[in-house]
């Protein structure tokens, strides 16, 4: 019997869920419809750094999700034959001014290499070595390089995976939908019946569930970043690692004469998607502090998206209490491109009843974030 599955949201979580629903052994048993209007999608605007291993966040479940998410991304890239323009294992460098903090960072990398080989090779760099790795930079602190770090183009990733899924069992409808008071999908006033629904709606999760008696802990955070031309500075085909510099915005060379710098974290802007001149100036100043040849003339465009955050900054996923046919993954924050693929895979496997591992090592109880109001 074919089961009808709805996926609302075509970003990092939704596209990965669609991909795995097309690749599972029981893929022929699913008829999948994705609804996505693309408005404000964080995946399209995200900076795209995949390098979770040196994070000092104390949430162990988050780290498990990010660590294994980075490993899964590498596997998906190989399995789906992603070009380097989408997933590029270029390495990442994290800098520290204080020598003791740099030593601690290196030791942390060594410890976490015991947990996963995806981190790759680890090397401590002097400031001069950082600048040789990333020749566009003319000022740097010393740093730690991990070869397993990568950059991901979230927009192209989603398109790549949904293109594969469309060949099997996916239909995409580029229109907004809602969830009605009965927990069903509505499109232009028409109720559509599905056996299961995946909500991959990010910061809009609370809004799409507003007709249901649920208390949802999700809030929007605005993120702005800038794309710069570096062709006149260094040429068009120089591949470099991503740099996460202490005290400055992330520095992401794209290897095609382009550079991404960002992103901002703005908690009081709601779903505003307009560019903020002050934020753009801050990002330009940050870029200039790393490379004094960069200025406003290098600016190509501003990218803006809306991230989803919870009150404890932890992601959540699973079946919604009281509405078991609705599954959700949200609250991914600024690490969404790293954690989102694993969340999407797990949601697909839950629908297919293919989960054969302990998913609670990746999450707190979903009731911490979505409560049924009686």
Q: What is the CATH number of the domain that holds 290?
A: 3.30.9.10
pLDDT at 26: 56
pLDDT at 268: 84
Relative orientation angle of helices 60-79 and 336-351, to the nearest 10 degrees: 80
Segments in the chain forming alpha helices (H): 12-23, 42-45, 60-79, 99-113, 127-133, 154-166, 205-208, 231-234, 277-290, 336-351
pLDDT at 58: 80
Contacts of 298 (CB under 8 A, 6+ apart): 228, 229, 230, 233, 259, 287
pLDDT at 367: 96
Which of 123, 82, 61, 81 lies closest to 362 in space, CA to CA? 61
Residues 299 and 323 placed together within one structural domain of the fold:
no
Arithmetic mean of pLDDT, 36-63: 82
Which of 189, 168, 186 lies closest to 178 in space, CA to CA? 186
pLDDT at 218: 96
pLDDT at 139: 86
What confidence tens digit (pLDDT) does each residue in 253-306 have? Answer: 987 888 999 889 998 888 988 999 999 999 999 999 999 889 999 999 999 989
Residues 289 and 239 placed together within one structural domain of the fold:
yes
DSSP string covering 203-228:
GGHHHHTTTSSEEE--EEEEEEEEEE
pLDDT at 41: 61
CA angle (287, 150, 343) in 5-degree steps: 115
In a domain, 71, yes or no: no
Residue that has been written with the tokens 């697909």 in this structure: 348
Residues 303 and 177 placed together within one structural domain of the fold:
no
- Select from 280, 307, 334 the last residue of a domain: 307
Whole-number mean pLDDT of the chain? 92
- Select from 273, 292, 307 the last residue of a domain: 307
Arithmetic mean of pLDDT, 38-61: 81
What is the domain count for the chain? 2
In a domain, 234, yes or no: yes
Task: Please say if the pLDDT value at position 230 is more than 90.
Answer: no
In a domain, 87, yes or no: no
Q: Which domain covers residue 358, as residue numbers?
A: 3-44+154-218+312-372
In a domain, 302, yes or no: yes
Task: Please say if the pLDDT value at position 208 is more than 80.
Answer: yes
Residues 214 and 225 placed together within one structural domain of the fold:
no
pLDDT at 237: 61
Residues 225 and 135 placed together within one structural domain of the fold:
yes
To the nearest whole percent, how much of the chain has pLDDT over 70? 95
Residue 264, token pair as written in the block: 């901002």
In a domain, 338, yes or no: yes
In a domain, 366, yes or no: yes
pLDDT band at 185 (very low <50, low <70, confident <90, very high): very high
Residues 234 and 273 placed together within one structural domain of the fold:
yes
Task: Please say if the pLDDT value at position 212 is more than 60.
Answer: yes
Full strand arrangement of the beta sheet holding 190-192: 178-179, 185-187, 190-192
What confidence tens digit (pLDDT) does each residue in 120-138 have? Answer: 999 999 999 999 999 999 8
pLDDT at 190: 95
Task: Please say if the pLDDT value at position 247 is more than 90.
Answer: no
Residues 134 and 224 placed together within one structural domain of the fold:
yes
Q: 334 with 303: CB under 8 angstroms?
A: no
pLDDT at 52: 96
């Amino acid at each position: 019997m074919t089961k009808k599955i709805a996926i609302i949201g075509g970003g990092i979580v939704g596209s990965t869920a669609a991909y795995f629903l097309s690749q599972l052994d029981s893929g022929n048993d699913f008829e999948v419809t994705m609804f996505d209007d693309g408005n404000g999608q964080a995946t399209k605007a995200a900076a795209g750094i995949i390098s979770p291993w040196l994070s000092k966040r104390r949430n162990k479940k988050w780290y498990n999700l990010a660590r294994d998410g980075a490993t899964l991304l590498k596997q998906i890239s190989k399995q789906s034959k992603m070009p380097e323009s989408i997933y590029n294992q270029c390495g990442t460098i994290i800098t520290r001014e204080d020598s003791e903090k740099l030593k601690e960072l290196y030791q942390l990398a060594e410890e976490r290499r015991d947990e996963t080989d995806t981190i790759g090779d680890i090397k401590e760099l002097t400031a001069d070595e950082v600048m040789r790795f990333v020749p566009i930079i003319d000022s740097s602190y010393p740093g730690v390089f991990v070869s397993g770090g990568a950059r991901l183009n979230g927009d192209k990733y989603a398109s790549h995976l949904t293109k594969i899924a469309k060949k099997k069992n996916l239909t995409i409808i580029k229109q907004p939908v809602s969830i009605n008071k009965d927990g069903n999908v509505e499109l232009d006033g028409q109720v559509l019946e599905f056996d299961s629904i995946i909500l991959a709606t990010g910061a809009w999760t609370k809004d799409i569930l507003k007709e249901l008696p649920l208390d949802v802990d999700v809030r929007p955070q605005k993120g702005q970043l800038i794309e710069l031309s570096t062709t006149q500075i260094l040429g068009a085909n120089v591949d470099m690692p991503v740099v996460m510099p202490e005290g400055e915005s992330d520095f992401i060379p794209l290897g095609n004469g382009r550079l991404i710098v960002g992103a901002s974290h703005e908690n009081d802007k709601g779903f505003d998607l307009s560019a903020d001149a002050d934020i753009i100036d801050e990002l330009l100043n940050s870029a200039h502090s790393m490379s004094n040849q960069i200025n406003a003339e290098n600016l190509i465009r501003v990218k803006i998206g809306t991230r989803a955050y919870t009150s404890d900054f932890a992601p959540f996923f699973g079946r919604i209490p009281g509405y078991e046919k609705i599954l959700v993954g949200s609250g991914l924050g600024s690490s969404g491109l790293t954690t989102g693929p694993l969340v999407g895979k797990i949601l697909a496997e839950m629908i297919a009843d293919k989960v054969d591992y302990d998913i609670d090592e990746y999450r707190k109880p979903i009731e911490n974030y979505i409560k049924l109001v009686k």
